[in-house]
Structure formats: C-alpha cells, structure tokens
Structure 1
Amino acid sequence: MVASTLGQTSPASPDEFAGREQLRASSAEFRKEVIEITDGVFAAVGYSASNVTLIQGEKGSIIVDTSANPVDAKAIVDAFGNRFVRPVLAIIYTHNHPDHSGGASVFAGSDNPEIYSHQTLLESGPEFGRGPRDGGDAFGTKLADHLFINAGTKLEYGRVTPHTREGFLPPTRTFRGESETIELAGVQMQLIHTPGESPENTAIWIAGKGVLVPGDDFLKSYPNLSPIRGLKLRPPEKWIASLDKMLALDATYMVQGHMRPILGRDEVRKALTDYRDGIKTVLDQTLAGIKQGKTPDELVQEVKLSPELSKSPYLQEYYGTVAWAVRGIYADYVGWFDGNATNLNPLPPGERARKMLEMAGGLDKVIARAREAIEAKEFQWAAEMIDHVLAVDPANMAAKEIKAQALTELGERQINANARNYYLTTAQYLLKRERQA
C-alpha cells in the first residue's frame, strides 16, 4: 500500500500492484552485457539508453548507433575490449534520436569514418514537445530514486548522464528512396528505409549473416504510437508496411535499438508478426469505430488486443499503450472535435469548476468527498474532483495533498513506465507546493 500525508488506503491485494512488479521485472532486459549475435556481430546492451551494434570487418569496425552520450560510448568501447578494432570505417545511424546518436565522436575518434543515414534524417526538424515537461517527466528524470523503476525501453535516460547531443556527428553519406546496398570492410549490407517510430528510421540487413538491425521499429513493448511528451502520431500505416518489409527478410537474428536481442528465426518472425498485428488491429478497430461515430472516450473502452496478442511478451505496455494509440489515431484522422456539440465552445475551466463546486455544496464538501474516494480506492475520481478545486484555488494545499496521493496510488499500479513516471513526478511537484520547470 502507498503511504501519504493523508494516511493509508484500505489494505491492497497483491494483484493491484501486478503491473508495477511486471515493470520492475522488465529491468532485467537492461543488464549490462556484450552479446555475440553471430560470427563478427556483437551488441552492447545495458550500457546506455540504447544498444550499440559492432560489426567486425576485414580491416576495421562498423558501428550501428552510438549510444546516448560520450560517457556511455567510452564505457561501451571498454566493454567491447579487443573485439573492437580500429579504424572505425563507418558509423550507421538507424535514426536521429539523441539516445542513438549522442556518442558518435567517441567511436569515430580520429578515424574519420563515413557516417551513413537516410536523407530524411537531415531533413527532420526537432521534436516539438510540450513546454518544460516535454520528456523528462515521462522518463522520470526528476523522480526520487526510491520511486524510479525504469524508462520503459531503457533503464534510465537523463537521470545519470544528461541526454545532450555533444557527441553527435552529422551524416556524411545519405541515401534516398527505399534502400541502398553497400559494402563496408568486406561486409555487404542493405540499408532499408523503414519509417515507423521515426520518419528516417533505417533498418540494416546483413543477409550473409542473417542479421537484422531494425532501429526502434521494434521494441519489446507495445509501441509508443502517440507519446505523452507531446509528439505527433507516429503513422501506423507506414510502421505496419515497414514491419512487413522486415518480415520478408526472414532474419535469424534481430538486434533492436533497446532491450535484449531476439535470437532464432522462428522467434524473430513471431516478434515482428505480433508487433505488426498489434498495431494493425488497434488501427483497424479505431477507424471502424470512427466511421460509426464513436468518441475517443468510447473507443478507449472498446478497442482491445485479442487475448492471444495481449499475452505476447512483445506487446506488454511498458512504453506505449493501446489507449494512447487510440486517442492519437482519432486526433490524427478526424481532429480534436469528438462530435459532441457541447464541446464546440466549452466553458473556461475555472468557470466550469466554480459552477460544479457550487452544485456540489462548496469546496470543502468536494475535498471531503475526494478523501472518501481515496479511502474507497477510487483514485481517478478523487483526482478529477480535486481538479475542480485547484481550478478555482490553485494554492489549496489540502487539495494538492489529496491529488498527490491519488496520483501516487495510480502511478504505483502502472505497468507503463511513462505513465508511472509522469504520475509520480506530478505528485512530487504538488507536494513541493509549486510545479518545477
């Protein structure tokens, strides 16, 4: 059970916290290890927010993705040991995210390697985000140590080493279109444009070794199609098409950008198939519901994975969720309006809250009812009631404490790291009496 300034709720059953414990168990995916994938291919897992792949060539090394920063990159070079041989002849970026491209300068050293990417990487603008809380709170960068578990697809991001781009080096060779076949240090490989988690995502296919490096188009989690940190929908149709491209390769080994690699042809096929089907069924159900005139709130209650897919180890909701995907798809296809005419020009939040509080008998009664809701484990309802209080009296510490406990209780019941981190960080801000930037 969760302690708070208000006391404790009634005793909890173990099942209430099953999601949290499953998330905690998923941290085993990030244990530090250099894994030999097959002859001449190694993956450094757990040393940074993303994996680094080393491909040994005839007279040097090829690096795919470069970790989050120079500090992590140096640790990975050390971990590779004598498997890492200079010169580095090429660096390949699967995509532009800082956790994959921030350590390039360390791997490049003075070797002056070619740096490969899709042309879209150079054309992509910065992520827009949502004000000062655009990513750190979802990643738990300010969360107290005893509350932090992980960041969903990585052990941590920005808590130990700031996620700067100080080690980023711009691409020197890019390709356009669907794919390009290159030979580096005697290793032939195909660079395949696979937009999905990012527009520029590039999969690397080494046919002679049966190795696929898909970037972030595959993660051992339901995909984060609509990130809460304030990004556009990651187009599911393109993502599905990219997964179909990768399935057609019939890879034996898959070294994705996060978590431990998938080894064995049958398991790689299952992983990619489940991932594709998990996106497609949510897209199809959501679009069918939109055509029936259903609202986002209705669709979130109705759109589900099949029982088989919901049990897949590759679709647990550590990073993205089905509900967030539904909301993102709805907004992307038909915009913000949910079809309810009342919502065309709603009352301002403060005015609505004053009227609701008056109807409920006043601020003090609502606070008392929210306390009762906490005791009854109706944590979402408690938070929603208190939002009316804070809309008219934002400095009310009794209300802040109740909301902080409601969010803490909700956070402690999450399997999703982004949700957990955001709930618990918001609770911290409330108890500090002011929101931190």
Structure 2
Amino acid sequence: MEGPQVAFLVLLLALTGYLGNRLWAAINGPSYRERILRLASADQHLTNHTAEFARPEILQVSDGLYMAIGYALANSIMIEGKDEIVIVDVTESYETGLAIMSAFRNITKKPVAAIVYTHNHADHTYGAKAFIENDQNPPDIWAHESTNREFIRTFTANAAGYRRAMRQFGVFLPNSVNSGIGKMLKYGDGKATIGLVFPNKFVNQKVTNLTLAGIEMSIVHIPGETDDQIGVWLPKQEAFLCADDVYKAFPNLYAIRGTPDRNLLQWVESIDTIIEYSPQHLVPSHTRPVEGKSKIQDILTAYRDAIQYIHDQTVRYINQGMDVIDIAKKVVLPESLRTHPYLQEFYGTTEWSVKTVFTSYLGWFNGDAVDLSPLSKMERADRMVKLVGVSKLLEQAREALRAKDFQWALELSSYVLIMNPGHREATEIKLDCLTSLGSRQKSANGRNYYLTSAFELAGLVDSSISLKKNRENGIKILPIEYIFKALQVRFKPEDCGQVTTSVYFVFQDSNIHISLIIRNGIAIVKHGECLHCDLVVTTTETVFKDMIGSRIKAITAYGSGEIEIQGGAMNFRNIMSCFERNK
C-alpha cells in the first residue's frame, strides 16, 4: 500500500471512531444533558466563595507590589523597581498572560528584568511568553533547581494527568461554579495557547538572597504543594509571596487529578518558616492578599496546625491497625480549625488528605490479605452480575437511589455498565448518582469531578480533541530530551517484546545526539554519540517532532528527504511502530 493510501486509511479509521461516538452522543446527549442540568446544584458556601476572585482586577498590596487576580486560576504578581520590574508567576496560558500584562502596563512601562516561577504547575508557568516583550533580550527566568525535572515527570504522564485535571477543574462544564482557588482554569478548552518558557536561572539553597531589577529579595525554598516550591520575601515591603503553601481554602494535600504524595510535615515546616519572617503582607498565588501581622499569624498558625493534625491523627490510627477508608471517615478537624475561614473545604478535603498520608507511609496495601491480589473491576462486575443478575442489581440500585444512598447506587449501576456498556437504565441511574454526589460537594474539585464524569458518561464531553491540540502545542516547545523520555513509557512490549536493536539520532539543527536502545521489552534513552548502533537517523528536531505528533506527517517525512536513515527506512518504521501514538 502506498503512502497516500495508508494516510487515507488512518484518517478513515479515526473518522469512523469519532463519528460513532458523535452519533451516540447525538442520540442520547440532549435528554441526558437535560437530566444532569436538572439535578445539578451547588453548595451555597462554595457559590459565595466565588466573590474571592469574581472579577479581573489589579490590587496594590504595598508600594511597588501589585497582584493580578481573577484573570485566571492563579494570580500573577508584579514587583516594581526603580527602572525595571519582576514578575512572579505567569498564569496558565499565553492569552491570560497577555491580559494581565496589558493591565500591568497601565501602571508602568518599565521593562521586565526577571520572571520567577514559584513552582512547576501549569497555572503558574504556561503564560510566560506573554511577559517576554523583547525576544532579543529576554528576561531571566528563576526557579528551583528541581523544576525542570518536575516538567519532565508531568509530561511523561501527560494524557492521564490532563484528563483528570480537566475533570477536577471543570473546564468542560456548562455550570461550573468556581475552581476553589480561582474562578476557572483557562486552559485545555482548545482556546488557550501554551506559552511555557523553560527557566534558565536556578536556586538550590534554603534561602538565596538576590537583587533583581534593583530590588532586594530572598528566594526561600518552601516545599509544600510541590517539592520545588519557592516563596519570595521582600524586606522593604515586609511582604512574603507564599506561592501555593497558603490560600483561602483547605489545602490540596492530595490532588484528585493525580499527584505524588505530598509530604505534610515538610509543608508544616515551610509554613513555620513563613511565620518566622512575621510578614505584614501575605501574598498568595491564589486568592486575595492579607494585611496585618496579627491576622497573618492567625491564618498561618491555623493552616499549619490543621495539616499537622491530619498527619498525626492518621498515623495514630494507622498504628492501631485501622483501614485507610475507616481512618478517612474517622479523622475530623477540631471545631476551631474546621470553622476557620481559611480551612473551608472549597479545594482539598480532610478525607482525601488522610488517604495520602496513609499511602505515603504504607503504600497501596492496607494490610488485609484480601487486598493483596484483588479482582479487577471487570472480574468483580462479571461475578456480581452472575451472582445477583442484572435485574436484581438494577432493582437494588433503584432502591438505593430513592433512599438517596447515592454511593451504593453508583457502585451497583457501574457493575451493570461494565458488563453491558450503554445500558440505558443503568446509565440513567449512574448519571443521577454522579450528579447528586457532585451537587453535594463543598469542594469545587469534588463537584467538578463528579459532574464532568456525568457529562463524559452521557457522551457530552470528550477531552481527547483538546488533549491532542495541547499535546501538539506542547511537543513544539518541549526540549527533545523530554520527548524521548516520554517515548520510554509508550513502548509496546506486547508487540515488540522480542526486539533488540538500537537507533542513533543526530539532530542537525541543535547538534544534540541521542541513542534509543531497545531490549527486554523496554526502551532506554542515552545522550551522546553511538559508535555501534544498528540504525543512524539524521534529521532536525522540527521534523522529528512533527513525526511524533502526527502519523500522516510521519508518512510524508519518510519520502520527503527531510530525514536520512542509515540501516533501512523500513526497519526504522518498524521500530517506531513499537511506540504508542497519540490518540
């Protein structure tokens, strides 16, 4: 089959699957959408919380210190020096960054001397290009030395993290109230552009004293929500820029979008560090600034005490031999903390936090031998259907739904749907459960996740299209080394487990040399020249990134002369087919 025929076949197969999904959604979607929206509501406290960041505005915190809030999920902060300015955090997209920079320019026209990333999260880094007004003389970008490693880790699990983040932040919901720490994540909807620029200046000390734009400041390592997190102390203004260690919501000690375990005691120590500075102004990267030493000390003390309480009581019950689910139900903050305005569960929750403490100490196994090798969801559903029968499961699910026992009805209907995808009554019960559970959440994360899951079940939300666009945009700006690291986890041993070979890549435009070694069902990436590799591929980063991003562009590249292959083009094609392509 010739190249154009292959390209047409690939496009036809993709189109067939896409149209199949669209047809199902077109038939069922309208009634299901109406069903979800009819049931969906929002916790009144969460709704009221929107006032914290309801409209875009620039707040003057102190002389020469400004915060942009309400433009995006995160804040951007401007520090004004005599002749230049420093920007701390740049929000989640090029577009939101442009809007903020335009507002900052109403205050000052001074050039940007430096940008500081408080940590690696997209809502703090992906808008950087909007703040770089002179490509010939760009500002330095400061970050912790581990930030680039975190970028690599995030990109490696890109697809899973992206889908779950879109649910957590409610990006595709028509009725999202807010995102707990900001109005809305303005990224992932297909309209936002990634403007990430990688940092070139790094700090690796607990405290690094700098003068940027003539401004004396200290960069303070305050690991908490992330290990690479840094804060900024401005002695002149007595202001501490605390990044995501503190904001006006219960902290995300675990993020349901999927994150490594967060070290709670390390987070507590970081807040203790902030307390020692005794700031007059607390300037978070989410929610509004706080003024007044006494008020700030109260907030910081309550925040750190709540985190420590969850840690200590979880470990206490672990040592009593309790199960993680039981501990999560048992640990409740004391009333003085539970009712504190900065510890309302608009973002994280105590229940999720307990579970992350458990896994950080003991891992996935809860200690009961029953759970050493449990049945898969498919196996459990199959046996439940055989044991009870679909009719009985649905009868019990209906009864549970009427009794507002939504979790049990959700589980029962899920068993039916696993074995009978598209079963209408089971789908309707599950939709009602997801919507009802979501409507009862005080946490924006929980509400958004339940309701987005309902829209996905109804065929009304498909994140794959925006995922593909964002991945293609990301590939263009990522260093080539990151892309090869991601290839390692795309290798398909079921197809290529017997393959033993090596490919040496020479990228002429960047003079980067990378070897890809395949053996024992894994792919290994090494840097530097390879004297004995089986194939040698000479090309440019641009061509290779196009090949990775698009099967059709890959087919075109083979015959265009844009890529030179020593060792056989067919051999190279076969090797690259061992890696999963974007879906």
Counterpart of 1:407 in structure 2 is 434
CA distance in 2 between partners of 1:131 and 1:281 (Å): 29
Over 3 Å counting, the alpha-carbon distance change for 1:352 and 1:169 in structure 2 is: closer
Q: Deviations over 1:74-113 (max 9, x none)?
A: 2112222432332111111111112111222222211522
1:319 deviates by: 1.3
Please state if 1:185 is matched with 2:221: no
2:279 to 215, 240, 251: 251
Over 3 Å counting, the alpha-carbon distance change for 1:45 and 1:397 in structure 2 is: same
Counterpart of 1:137 in structure 2 is 167
Over 3 Å counting, the alpha-carbon distance change for 1:410 and 1:261 in structure 2 is: same
CA distance in 2 between partners of 1:311 and 1:91 (Å): 37
Q: Which amino acid aligns with 2:116?
A: I
CA contact (8 A) 2:241 2:284 kept: yes
Q: Deviations over 1:190-220 (max 9, x none)?
A: 0001111111111000012111101111121
Q: Which amino acid aligns with 2:197?
A: L
Counterpart of 1:26 in structure 2 is 49
Bigger shift: residues 326-335 or 101-110: 101-110
Q: Deviations over 1:206-259 (max 9, x none)?
A: 012111101111121111122111211111121111111011000011111111
Q: Which amino acid aligns with 2:149?
A: E
1:114 to 131, 140, 143: 140
Bigger shift: residues 205-214 or 79-88: 79-88
Q: Which amino acid aligns with 1:92?
A: V
Q: Which runs of 5+ in 2 are unaligned?
A: 1-30, 465-583
CA distance in 2 between partners of 1:436 and 1:37 (Å): 38
CA contact (8 A) 1:49 1:155 kept: yes
- Secondary structure at 1:83's aligned position in 2? coil
CA distance in 1 between partners of 2:463 and 2:194 (Å): 26
Counterpart of 2:115 in structure 1 is 91
CA distance in 1 between partners of 2:185 and 2:260 (Å): 21
TM-score (norm 1): 0.91
Over 3 Å counting, the alpha-carbon distance change for 1:32 and 1:97 in structure 2 is: same
Counterpart of 1:385 in structure 2 is 412
CA distance in 1 between partners of 2:344 and 2:85 (Å): 35
CA distance in 2 between partners of 1:393 and 1:243 (Å): 50
When you count helix as a share of all residues, which structure comes out higher?
2
Over 3 Å counting, the alpha-carbon distance change for 1:435 and 1:183 in structure 2 is: closer
1:114 deviates by: 2.1
CA distance in 2 between partners of 1:162 and 1:269 (Å): 42
CA contact (8 A) 1:223 1:320 kept: yes
1:216 to 235, 240, 244: 244
1:165 deviates by: 6.7
1:289 deviates by: 0.9
Over 3 Å counting, the alpha-carbon distance change for 1:394 and 1:65 in structure 2 is: same
- Give matches, 1:271-350, under 5 Å: 271-350=299-378
Q: Which amino acid aligns with 1:341?
A: A
Q: Which amino acid aligns with 2:397?
A: A
- Secondary structure at 1:126's aligned position in 2? helix
Over 3 Å counting, the alpha-carbon distance change for 1:381 and 1:353 in structure 2 is: same
CA distance in 1 between partners of 2:272 and 2:293 (Å): 15
Instruction: Compare relative contact order (CA 8 Å, sep 6+) and give the higher one, 1 or 2.
Output: 1
CA contact (8 A) 1:296 1:330 kept: yes
1:123 deviates by: 3.0
Q: Which amino acid aligns with 1:365?
A: K
- Give matches, 1:196-211, under 5 Å: 196-211=224-239
TM-score (norm 2): 0.69
- Give matches, 1:398-437, under 5 Å: 398-432=425-459, 437=464
CA contact (8 A) 1:397 1:433 kept: no
- Secondary structure at 1:182's aligned position in 2? strand
- Secondary structure at 2:240's aligned position in 1? strand
1:5 deviates by: 6.4
Q: Which amino acid aligns with 1:410?
A: L
- Give matches, 1:220-239, under 5 Å: 220-239=248-267
Bigger shift: residues 321-330 or 362-371: 362-371
CA distance in 1 between partners of 2:292 and 2:82 (Å): 26
2:298 to 270, 295, 315: 270
Counterpart of 2:97 in structure 1 is 73
Q: Which runs of 5+ in 1 are unaligned?
A: none
1:379 deviates by: 1.1
Q: Pairwise CA RMSD of aligned residues? A: 2.6
CA contact (8 A) 2:172 2:461 kept: no
Please tell me whether Structure 1 or Structure 2 has the larger radius of gyration of its CA atoms: 2
Q: Which amino acid aligns with 1:58?
A: K
CA distance in 2 between partners of 1:199 and 1:415 (Å): 27
- Secondary structure at 1:155's aligned position in 2? coil
CA distance in 1 between partners of 2:237 and 2:385 (Å): 66
Over 3 Å counting, the alpha-carbon distance change for 1:429 and 1:123 in structure 2 is: closer
Q: Deviations over 1:243-286 (max 9, x none)?
A: 11011000011111111111211221122111111110000001
